[in-house]
């Protein structure tokens, strides 16, 4: 008996004393609950099957016939999705309800309404017997109302290996209240149906859908639509990445990985404006797990579906030693820097970072984020504009960048840290016991996953971060060219949003905040983290940072520019995890709609703000997070150059 069946058996025996109902195996491609869109609603147990070999007792069972089809007739290949043992904990709920409005539904500016007994939108955690906070929005990127999905977004990630039920009691359409589909009416009202997809699921819906929703207080006769789904396990979500990390680090000896130095350049610290006294470039030797070490490639897997080491490669790195570190009387800390979208390690040479490193006396360690660096841009764009069945190439290749960063830390803790290039007149220049992480934009997004999985870094600052990608992408100007490429391949915008906001999230999880949100501050090795956020960010929506902060149990650094739902504001300083928001008077208010903000972009501002820099370094240096602004942190975007 599967874990799922064991749990359900115990529940039935305790509550109603009847035999359990197996998850029905439905052979049809389409779920008739929402007949206008074959694969909707999503996620749904319609797309699952039982599998005793997985941690949840379930496996994804996406059928090619129900998935998005390109303009040339090519359907999405579900192979990589069907490796998973449930749905992503960071997936939104997608509904095809043509003509729907948000009237009466809990919206982004009233998340708490979703927890009220009278809420028409109910997300119920069957495993815990609790309502789950969420908001409902429309896909305002759609070209017309007929292609506009309704999107239900949990206010924080769902829990691993939990059973959920979603129910909607009323939706007001443009011409009045919407009606249920004939298939759902038959299930709800117990009337006959000629559809096997209805008849085979009657017992399941009675006990797995209508029963829990009755416990949640929803009157069965009021339901417009309802369905259940099961989230993936932690093992099923992160197990491949953890296996790869442990295998790679297991190849190291006590001296750290092999490396070679390409160039060591000393600068004249007496020269006017000189911040960096020594630049070191080199390569570190790292295992790789894709067919070849090149962009656009995916893992080679063993019989257990885990990535297999294929050989060794060399990854470039950069070390910047400020003049103040060369002149220090004792070894100084190291900050490992994570660059932005499809960039490279040379971002660490930015003037503001060189000045900060000199002022605070820390060495900068940087590398390319392999898989999401400049060299990967073309392969990613071609895949996105071609066959999204290859989506796994992004996270699987990006895992290489994670490993390379870990190996660089181990190198500094080993022979590289003792190399003559990192020695001064008085001895070692760096304190390898104090290596911290700091990343901005992509470095703040993927850096959250890196910080969570790193065995060696305890403390990190995530600049203008967010997650999950399913929330960020439709709200980001940076996504526009990729969005346009997908639109060229797919005709129905509902298919496009199912891909962007739903299906792709399943693949993102191992290398972005979405999969690691519960691990960062409450996992096997809890970390300390500071999120520095720009209100009105055009590239990375602040909503993603709010989702992260709730998962991390973070507090809001007070006095804050605004109240954040579900996040306590504390003044006077904290330790552990916190979110600090920076507001800009010349930036328009953030839209409630799921679209990118308009107007000036404050994305680059927090990293250049003196108060934010002081906050950053105080935290990295001693773990204490406080507000260094004179009241709530407010500035002018035009002055943050």
Contact 479, 439 (CB under 8 A): no
Average pLDDT for the chain: 95
Q: Are residues 153 and 247 in the same domain?
A: no
Continuous segment of H or E residues that includes residue 353? helix 351-360
- Could you identify the residue written with the tokens 């906070």? 133
Asked if residue 6 has pLDDT above 50, the reply is: no
User: Is 316 within a domain?
Assistant: yes
Same structural domain for residues 202 and 145? yes
The three-state DSSP-derived secondary structure of 453-494 is: HCCCCCEEEEECCCCCHHHHHHHCHHHHHHHHHHHHHCCCHH
CB-based contacts of 15, cutoff 8 Å, min separation 6:
none
Give just the sign of the alpha carbon dihedral 331, 332, 333, 334: negative
Instruction: Answer yes or no: is pLDDT of 593 > 60.
Output: yes
Looking at the structure, do residues 202 and 299 belong to the same domain, yes or no? no
- Look up the domain containing 355 and give its range: 237-428
Identify whether residues 69 and 192 lie together within a single domain.
yes
CA-to-CA distance for 350 and 191, rounded, in angstroms? 67
Query: Of 232, 258, 279, which marks where a domain is finished?
Result: 232
Count helices and strands in the chain by DSSP H and E runs:
20, 25
Per the CB < 8 A criterion, the answer to whether 124 and 56 are in contact is: no
462 and 335 share a domain? no
Query: Measuring CA to CA, which residue among 308, 304, 298 is closest to residue 248?
Result: 308
Cα separation, 497 vs 40, whole angstroms: 12
Q: How many CA atoms lie within 13 A of 268 on its CB side?
A: 3
Q: 3-class SS at 78?
A: coil
Beta bridge partners of 226: 167
* Cβ(183)–Cβ(198) below 8 Å: yes
Tokens of 294: 């090149």
| 129 found inside a domain | yes
Give mean pLDDT, residues 433-454.
98
Please give the Cα distance from 53 to 361 (Å, whole number): 52
C-alpha span between 168 and 139 (Å, rounded): 18
Rg for the chain, CA atoms, rounded: 25
314 shares its domain with 419: yes
Residue 8 has pLDDT above 50, yes or no: no
410 occurs within a structural domain: yes
Tens of pLDDT, residues 68-118: 999 999 999 999 999 999 999 999 999 999 999 999 999 999 999 999 999
Rounded mean pLDDT, 16-27: 68
> Among 16-30, 80-94, 195-209, 606-620, which stretch is predicted with the lowest mean pLDDT?
16-30
User: 3-state DSSP call for residue 414?
Assistant: coil
| Residue 637 placed within a domain | yes
Domain boundary among the residues 428, 460, 477 is at 428
Which tens digit of pLDDT belongs to each residue from 170-198?
999 988 999 999 999 999 999 999 999 99
Task: Examine the pLDDT at 202 and tell me if it is beyond 50.
Answer: yes
282 near 260, Cβ under 8 Å? Answer: yes
User: Are 149 and 253 contained in the same domain?
Assistant: no
453 and 419 assigned to the same domain: no
Does 603 map to a domain?
yes
Domain membership of residue 352 (yes or no) is yes
User: What is the pLDDT averaged over residues 625-630?
Assistant: 97
Same domain as 272, residue 301: yes
CA torsion through residues 59, 63, 67, 72, sign: positive
Per-residue tokens: 77:
């290949």
Give 17's pLDDT tier (boundaries 50, 70, 90): very low
* Distance of alpha carbon 557 from alpha carbon 395, whole angstroms: 33
Domain boundary among 374, 399, 428: 428
Higher pLDDT pick, 269 / 27: 269
Give the number of domains in the chain: 3
Residues of the chain with pLDDT > 70, as a percent, come to 97
* Predicted confidence (pLDDT) per residue in 209-221, tens digit: 999 999 999 999 9
Rounded to an integer, the average pLDDT of 370-397 is 96
In a domain, 4, yes or no: no
Q: Examine the pLDDT at 520 and tell me if it is beyond 90.
A: yes
Let me know whether 218 and 241 are in one domain.
Answer: no
pLDDT at 254: 76
Average pLDDT of 32-60?
97
Handedness of CA 248, 254, 258, 259 (dihedral sign): positive
Domain contains 10: no
Percent of the chain with pLDDT over 90: 94
What tens digit of pLDDT does each residue of 288-320 get? 999 999 999 999 999 999 999 999 999 999 999
Residue 19: what pLDDT? Answer: 56
* Shared domain check, 81 and 55: yes
Instruction: State how far the alpha carbon of 309 is from the alpha carbons of 178, 197, 414, 633, in Å.
Output: 54, 43, 23, 47
Please determine, for residue 51, whether its predicted confidence score (pLDDT) is greater than 50.
yes
482 pLDDT more than 80: yes
pLDDT for res 22: 84
How many whole angstroms separate alpha carbon 26 and alpha carbon 222? 26
177 and 242 co-located in one domain: no
Confidence tier at 253 by pLDDT (50, 70, 90) = confident
């Amino acid at each position: 008996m599967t874990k799922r069946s064991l749990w359900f058996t115990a529940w039935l025996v305790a509550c109603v004393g009847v035999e359990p109902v197996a998850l029905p195996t439905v052979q049809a491609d389409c779920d008739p609950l929402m007949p206008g869109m074959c694969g909707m609603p999503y996620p749904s147990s319609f797309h699952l099957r039982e599998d005793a070999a997985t941690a949840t007792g379930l496996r994804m069972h996406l059928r090619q016939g129900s998935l998005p089809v390109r303009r040339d007739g090519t359907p999405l290949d579900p192979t990589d999705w069907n490796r998973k043992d449930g749905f992503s904990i960071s997936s939104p709920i997608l509904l095809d309800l043509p003509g729907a409005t948000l009237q009466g539904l809990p919206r982004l500016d009233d998340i708490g309404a979703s927890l009220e007994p009278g809420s028409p939108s109910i997300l119920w955690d069957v495993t815990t017997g609790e309502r789950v906070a969420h908001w409902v929005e429309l896909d305002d990127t759609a070209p017309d109302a007929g292609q506009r999905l309704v999107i239900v977004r949990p206010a924080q990630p769902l829990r691993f290996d939990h059973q959920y039920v979603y129910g909607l009691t009323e939706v007001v359409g443009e011409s009045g209240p919407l009606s249920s589909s004939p298939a759902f009416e038959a299930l709800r009202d117990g009337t006959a149906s000629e559809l096997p997809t209805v008849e085979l699921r009657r017992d399941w819906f009675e006990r797995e859908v209508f029963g829990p929703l009755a416990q949640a207080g929803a009157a069965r006769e009021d339901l417009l639509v309802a369905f259940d789904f099961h989230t993936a396990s932690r093992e099923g979500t992160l197990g491949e990445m953890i296996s790869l990390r442990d295998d790679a680090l297991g190849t190291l000896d006590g001296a750290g990985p092999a490396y070679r130095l390409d160039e060591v350049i000393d600068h004249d610290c007496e020269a006017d404006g000189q911040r960096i006294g020594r630049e070191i470039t080199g390569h570190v030797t790292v295992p790789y797990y894709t067919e070849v070490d090149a962009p656009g490639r995916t893992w080679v897997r063993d019989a257990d579906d885990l990535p297999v080491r294929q050989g060794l490669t060399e990854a470039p790195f950069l070390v910047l030693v400020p003049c103040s570190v060369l002149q220090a009387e004792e070894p100084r800390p190291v900050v490992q820097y994570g660059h932005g979208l499809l960039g490279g390690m040379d971002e660490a040479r930015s003037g503001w970072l060189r000045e900060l490193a000199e002022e605070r006396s820390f060495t900068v360690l940087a590398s390319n984020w392999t898989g999401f660096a400049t060299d990967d841009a073309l392969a990613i764009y071609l895949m996105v504009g071609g066959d999204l069945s290859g989506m796994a190439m992004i996270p699987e290749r990006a895992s290489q960048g994670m490993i390379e960063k870990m190996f660089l830390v181990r190198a500094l803790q080993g022979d590289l840290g003792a190399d003559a290039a990192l020695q001064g007149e008085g001895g070692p220049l760096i304190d390898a016991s104090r290596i911290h992480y700091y990343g901005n934009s992509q470095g703040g997004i993927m850096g959250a996953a890196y910080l969570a999985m790193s065995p060696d870094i305890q403390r990190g600052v995530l600049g203008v971060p967010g997650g999950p990608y399913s929330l960020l992408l439709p709200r980001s100007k940076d996504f526009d060219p990729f969005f346009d490429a997908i639109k060229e391949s797919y005709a129905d915008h509902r298919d496009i949003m199912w891909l962007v906001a739903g299906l792709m999230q399943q693949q993102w999880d191992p290398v972005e905040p979405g999969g690691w949100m519960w691990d960062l501050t409450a996992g096997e090795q809890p970390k300390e983290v500071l999120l520095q956020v720009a209100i009105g960010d055009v590239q990375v929506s602040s909503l993603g940072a709010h989702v992260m902060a709730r998962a991390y149990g973070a507090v809001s650094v007070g006095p804050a520019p605004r109240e954040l739902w579900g996040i306590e504001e504390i003044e006077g300083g904290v330790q552990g995890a916190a979110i600090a928001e920076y507001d800009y008077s010349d930036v328009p208010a953030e839209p409630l709609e799921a679209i990118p903000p308009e107007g000036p972009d404050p994305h680059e501002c927090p990293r250049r703000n003196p108060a934010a820099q002081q906050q950053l370094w105080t935290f990295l240096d001693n773990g204490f997070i406080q507000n260094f602004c004179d009241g709530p942190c407010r500035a002018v975007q035009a002055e943050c150059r």
